[in-house]
Amino acid sequence: MTATHQLSGTDLLRTVRENLAPYRATIEPADHTVAVLRFTPAETDPPQWARRMEASRISAEQKVRAFTHLGYTVDHRVLPGTTPEAEFARTIQALNVDPAVRAVIVQFPPPARLTPFVQWLEPAKDIDALLEDRSPYPACATAEGISRVVAPFARDADIAVVGARGFVGRGVVRLLEAHGFNVTPLDLGDDLRRAAEADIVVSTAGQPHLLTPEHIRPHHRLVVDSGFTPLSGGGVAGDIHPAAATIPQNLTPVPGGIGPVEMAVLMDRIVRQEAAPALKPWSFPPTPYLTRRQYAAGLASPSTPTPPSPTQSPRPSVQPPQQHRRDQGPNSSRSR
In 3D space, the residue among 289, 277, 280 whose CA is nearest the CA of residue 316 turns out to be 280
First-residue to last-residue Cα distance in the chain: 41
In the CATH scheme, what is the code of domain 141-258?
Answer: 3.40.50.720
Confidence of residue 330 (pLDDT cuts 50, 70, 90): very low
The pLDDT of residue 326: 33
Q: What is the mean pLDDT of residues 47-74?
A: 97
What distances in angstroms separate CA 116 from CA 86, 119, 133, one per listed residue?
12, 6, 15
Looking at the domain covering 32-134, what would its CATH class be? alpha beta
pLDDT by residue (tens digit) across 306-320? 443 333 334 555 444
The pLDDT of residue 299: 55
The pLDDT of residue 35: 98
Confidence of residue 301 (pLDDT cuts 50, 70, 90): low
The pLDDT of residue 298: 82
Beta bridge partners of 79: 39
16 pLDDT above the threshold of 60: yes
Say which range, 248-257, 263-272, 298-307, has the weakest mean pLDDT: 298-307
The pLDDT of residue 314: 43
Beta bridge partners of 211: 240
304 pLDDT above the threshold of 70: no
Q: What is the 3-state secondary structure (H, E, C) of the chain?
A: CCCCEECCHHHHHHHHHHHHHHHHHHHHHHCCEEEEEEEECCCCCCHHHHHHHHHHHHHHHHHHHHHHHCCCEEEEEEEECCCCHHHHHHHHHHHHHCCCEEEEEECCCCCHHHHHHHCCCCHHHCCCCCCHHHCCCCCCHHHHHHHHHHHHHCCCCEEEEECCCCHHHHHHHHHHHHCCCEEEEECECECHHHHHHCCEEEECCCCCCCECCCCCCCCCCEEEECCCEECCCCCEECCECHHHCCCCCEECCCCCCHHHHHHHHHHHHHHHHHCCCCCCCCCCCCCCCCCHHHHHHCCCCCCCCCCCCCCCCCCCCCCCCCCCCCCCCHHHCCCC
Confidence of residue 55 (pLDDT cuts 50, 70, 90): very high
The pLDDT of residue 233: 83
pTM of the predicted model as reported, rounded to 2 decimal places: 0.89
Would 32-134 and 141-258 be classified into the same CATH topology?
Answer: yes
The pLDDT of residue 88: 98
- What is the C-alpha separation between 227 and 262, in angstroms, rounded? 13
The pLDDT of residue 311: 32
Q: Where exactly are the structural domains of the chain?
A: 32-134, 141-258
pLDDT by residue (tens digit) across 98-137? 999 999 999 999 999 999 999 999 999 999 999 999 999 9
182 pLDDT above the threshold of 70: yes
- What is the C-alpha separation between 93 and 321, in angstroms, rounded? 34
Task: Say which amino acid occupies 110.
Answer: P
What distances in angstroms separate CA 332 from CA 125, 161, 241, 269, one per listed residue?
12, 33, 43, 11
329 pLDDT above the threshold of 50: no
- What is the C-alpha separation between 102 and 35, in angstroms, rounded? 8
Confidence of residue 34 (pLDDT cuts 50, 70, 90): very high
